[in-house]
Amino acid sequence: MPDSKINSQTNSQTHSQSRPLPIRVVGGGLAGPEAAWQCARRGLAVTLCEMRPVRRTPAHETDLFAELVCSNSLKSDSENTAPWLLKQEMRRAGSLLMQLAARSSVPAGHALAVDRSQFSNWSPKRSLPSRSSASSEAR
Per-residue pLDDT at 128: 61
Domain spans of the chain, in order of start: 1-66+123-139, 70-121
8 Å CB contact between 25 and 32? yes
Strands (E), 55-127: 73-76, 105-106, 111-114
pLDDT digits 0-9 by tens, 15-34: 556 778 889 999 999 999 99
- Where the chain has pLDDT below 50, the residues are 1, 4, 6-13, 138-139
Treating both helix axes as pointing N-terminal to C-terminal, what angle do 31-40 and 96-103 enclose, rounded to 10 degrees? 120
What is this structure's pTM? 0.73
